[in-house]
Amino acid sequence: MPQPAPYTAPALSSPDVLQSPGQQPNPRAQKPVVGVDAPLPHPDASTINLREIKPLTPQSANSGIDGPVVRQAESSFTRPVREAPSGIVTAPYRLIAPYRAAHVAPLYAGDVSRLAGLVRDGKLYLSLRDAVALAIENNLDVEVSRYDLLLADTDLLRAWGGGTLRGVDYSVVQSSPGVGATTSPLLVTSTTGTSAVTNAQVTDLSQVTQAGNTVSQNLNENGSFTYAPGPAIPLFDPTITAEAGYLRRSNQTSLIGTTDTGSGGTGTATNTSPLTFVNTGLDYQQGFSFGGQVEAFVSNAPQVLYANTSQYDPFHAPSTSVTFAQPLLRGRGKEVNLRFVRIAKVNQQVSRLVFAQQLLETVYGTSRLYYDLVSLGENIGVKEESLAAAQRLFEDDRNQVSEGTLAPVELTRAEALLSSSRLDLIQARGEYRQQEVVLRQQILRRLGDPGTQFASIVPTDKIDVPQEPPSLDVSALTADALSNRPDLAQAALQIRANEISVKATGNSVKPLLNLYANVQTRGSSLVPYETLGSTGTGTTQVPAALTQGGLRLSTIYQGGVQLNLPLRNRIAQADAARDAIQLRQSQGRTAKLENDIRQQVENASVALETAHQAYAAAVQSRNYQQQLLQAEIDKFAVGASTNFMIVQDEAYLAQARSTEVAARSDYMKAQLSLDRSLGDLLGKYGVVLDDAIQGKLPGVVSGRVPAAKP
């Protein structure tokens, strides 16, 4: 048995009233598409059952990893030039330069040349593309994120030296919401009359200060935990440790003397003149990516301390020792020892994608603020027209009262409408000015700079809502979002870096088994145990004098293994298990982010379709209200209506016009929200990421924004 069609609202019919002056054609409302097997309506015939609706797109386990955004991040090495540190020299043949601190230029004060070309007669004539360009060049949130690219570079340099990583910043600052659009209700009908039409609606503008605050979003998928450090890292930067010191030694030959000083006396020790000399030592250490480490040591101190003639020539026969050690289990191989280098390279790509996300949020926030300013400006025009209509009605009523054809109470009613309209205009202008302040902060770097002073902002772009409803393929849009979203791409790269850390932690579970070989001259017969590498800071331990003690003329050759076998090994096991669990947590957070993106695309699509329908309804409501007002005026001319009905319809028409402005703004912001959820907002504005990294957008010129892709 075929199922009945789901419940839908009946189509609206146009009244049989002549078109009023200034009336617009009604936009075509979107008709809901109903499938053959649509679910049955509820008994009350008001809603439908959505439980059996299938997912719009299939779930993918590798979303974002192999997308074009990740490939672009891997292939691009553009870095900020203006903010980059100078003086980083690591060449081994430069004797002094590696020991000079790098210099970072002061915070860039901004460039007002683009702004200066847009200011005329003390007003900033601003298109949306110019607003986006100014925000990318001057916004301080973008500038802070630009420095994160350089922080990732310093981590890579540190990793090549054998150091651990200090990490990158995953925070993204979202722009302030500003004042918003008009505050009128969305739907207005001619039958609403619960309150007096002369009552003014007062808005608390003091809350804009709180609304101007920004919101920070953290894109870190690892939570608050860090991964275990793993095996020690070899010292990739060769290190030389030198010592030199002055030594004075008394040459006492015995502790108990043999000379008798008399009856009951005691003997005294026999002393010769003290010996003085300078002892020196030199140590060289270097590690290699496969885990091996070499140490060479030379010193004259042992023979000076123990020989009986060397004080006259302390450099005659210095003691030397050369040791090479190679891990066989823990710390073996390039995959383990170069893990921080690999993670640092991944973090470079992550920082680029985080910057792209910050850029996207800034462009989105700037666009919202701009279109809200346009909407608030249109609302001022509506309020001015309403005030002018109220003024004309007041003057007409005053003339009729003076002629005795209208009761004085009707003039009072018209005066109340006039004062209410005047208050509405005052508040509309106040909202516009506050929105200007918020937008100014978004596009300027230094608000107190004399070169950035202008009286007001005049937006040159308008909001155009298409007559036809949007046609959206949600499945295709979701697939595009999963390929283009920078936040999902950087989350996938974080998983890749975490997998590198987990492999290193697994290597730490193995015993420490090292193979060593040692050659010494005039040294001791044993080599003390030493832990290879460092803690990741690049600082070496000053070696003990391996040649202290032993024979004066010996040459020693040694070789063997060193084993460190912790019985039960609970710490390493716990670290390996914890890191594996944290990896699964980060994968779960990334999967949730993918679900969030799917939800955002679907919700934004629904919002765009709903906004277009709401705009169509708002246009119809305004047209109907305009027709009713015109009909009431015609009836009043022949004595079939009252002045009260005209005043009421005038107020309703003013409200309907503001509602249409708000609906138009809602549609544009719904379009922006969809573009943001798709991750292609930068491409629609012609913003090249490499240009934005450099802080200049030569390709951005004034003009209209291209139409949104279906």
Q: Work out the pLDDT band at 248, boundaries 50, 70, 90.
A: confident
Q: How many other CB atoms are there within 10 angstroms of residue 545's CB atom?
A: 19
pLDDT at 256: 58
pTM strictly above 0.75:
yes
Q: Work out the pLDDT band at 262, boundaries 50, 70, 90.
A: low
361 lies in a domain? yes
What is the rounded distance in angstroms from the CA atom of residue 288 to the CA atom of residue 294?
9
pLDDT tens, 554-611? 677 888 888 888 888 899 899 999 999 999 999 999 999 999 999 999 999 999 999 8
What is the rounded distance in angstroms from the CA atom of residue 8 to the CA atom of residue 11?
9
Please, which residues bridge with residue 242 across strands?
282
411 lies in a domain? yes
**Of 584 and 453, more confident:** 584
Question: What value does the mean pLDDT take over residues 521-539?
Answer: 53
Q: What percent of the chain has pLDDT over 70?
A: 73
pLDDT at 235: 87
What is the rounded distance in angstroms from the CA atom of residue 419 to the CA atom of residue 424?
9
pLDDT tens, 121-145? 889 999 999 999 999 999 999 999 9
The SS3 of residue 372 is: helix
**Of 13 and 640, more confident:** 640
Inter-residue contact 618 to 181 (CB < 8 Å): no
Q: Maximum distance among all alpha carbons in the chain? A: 154
505 lies in a domain? no
Q: Provide the token pair at 531.
A: 């832990």
pLDDT tens, 628-639? 989 988 898 888
Question: What value does the mean pLDDT take over residues 364-392?
Answer: 90
Please tell me the least confidently modeled range out of 24-28, 85-89, 142-146, 234-238: 24-28
pLDDT at 642: 80
123: Cβ contacts below 8 Å, ≥ 6 apart: 454, 455, 456, 457, 458
- CA separation, residue 631 to residues 429, 598, 626, 642 (Å): 31, 49, 9, 12
User: Does the pLDDT of residue 492 top 60, yes or no?
Assistant: yes
Question: What value does the mean pLDDT take over residues 361-371?
Answer: 93
User: Does the pLDDT of residue 193 top 90, yes or no?
Assistant: no
pLDDT tens, 433-448? 999 989 998 998 888 7
Q: What is the CATH number of the domain that holds 467?
A: 1.20.1600.10
Question: What value does the mean pLDDT take over residues 312-325?
Answer: 69
Please tell me the least confidently modeled range out of 253-267, 291-305, 340-354, 686-700: 253-267
Q: Domain total for the chain? A: 1
pLDDT at 598: 93
DSSP label of 71: H
651 lies in a domain? yes
Domain hosting residue 419, numbered range: 68-185+198-229+339-499+576-694
pLDDT tens, 658-687? 888 888 889 999 999 999 999 988 888 888
pLDDT at 638: 85
504 lies in a domain? no
210: Cβ contacts below 8 Å, ≥ 6 apart: none
Question: What value does the mean pLDDT take over residues 679-698?
Answer: 87
167 lies in a domain? yes
315 lies in a domain? no
Q: Work out the pLDDT band at 298, boundaries 50, 70, 90.
A: confident
What is the rounded distance in angstroms from the CA atom of residue 233 to the CA atom of residue 339?
9
pLDDT at 311: 47
**Of 160 and 310, more confident:** 160
What is the rounded distance in angstroms from the CA atom of residue 576 to the CA atom of residue 231?
12
Q: φ, ψ for residue 441 (rounded to 5)?
A: -65, -30
317 lies in a domain? no
Amino acid identity for residue 99 in this structure: Y
pLDDT at 127: 92
pLDDT at 112: 83
What's the mean per-residue pLDDT of the chain? 77
DSSP label of 233: B
**Of 642 and 689, more confident:** 689
Q: How many other CB atoms are there within 10 angstroms of residue 1's CB atom?
A: 3
